[in-house]
Amino acid sequence: MVFATLSLAACGGGEASVGGTLTGLPDSTSIVLQNNASDDLTLTNDGTFWFSSAVSAGDAYAVTVLTQPVGASCSVTSGTGTVDSAGTDVSAVVVTCVRSATIVGTVTGLPSGTSVTLSNGTVLLPIASNGTFAFPGVLAAGTAYAVTVSTQPAGHTCTVSNGTGTAVANTSTAVVVTCV
């Protein structure tokens, strides 16, 4: 029995822990990470982290963000790979969070049955009714934005107020689109 254990250990084939470092998480928020679409890990502070389930030597790992923190956008680097044949722990995963803002606003005066298309850089947002709108995704704090009308409604003109600026962390813009 001892001989079999020593032989297996000499061949490698162990298990590795997967972890890394989290930076930029806003105070009083949390992020949920996953490894291989399971093994949820909730973090509430910057620092090192380790998933609770080990990964066998030769198997793949893939760290992703399951739930973003409020007011930030987080990305994973060095989050995928294969555990080496010796089962060496993986500690090079880096999760970086950047405070974020959203571009939101209101549309008024848009006639029924028409639509207006707004743009922010290359992101287009078609709008078919009056009310509030939000561009998809978030902007990193400090990023410039410029909302313009890309396509006017047939027979009408829409103008944008408060459409340019710099994204401020944990805030939403107040873009106003007025159609006449």
Angle at 149 between CA 148 and CA 153, to 5 degrees: 170
> What pLDDT is stored for residue 135 in this prediction?
86
CATH, range 16-100: 2.60.40
Sequence-separated (6 or more) residues with CB below 8 Å from residue 96: 23, 24, 74, 75, 77
Distance CA 144, CA 179 (A): 25
15-50 in b/e form (b: 16+ CB < 10 A) is ebbbbbebebbbeebebebbbbeebebebeeeeebb
List, for residues 106-160, the tens digit of each pLDDT value.
Answer: 999 999 999 999 999 899 999 999 999 988 877 777 889 999 999 999 999 999 9
Percentage, residues of the chain above pLDDT 70? 91
Identify which has the larger pLDDT, 169 or 86. 86
Task: Report the distance separating Cα 121 and Cα 145, nearest Å.
Answer: 8
Categorize the per-residue pLDDT at 13 as very low, low, confident or very high, splitting at 50, 70 and 90. Answer: low
Extents of the domains making up the chain? 16-100, 102-179
Mean pLDDT rounded to a whole number for the chain = 89
Q: Over the stretch 31-80, which tens digit does the pLDDT of each residue have?
A: 999 999 999 999 999 999 999 999 999 999 999 999 998 878 899 999 99
Given a contact cutoff of 8 angstroms between Cβ atoms, the answer to whether 115 and 92 are in contact is no
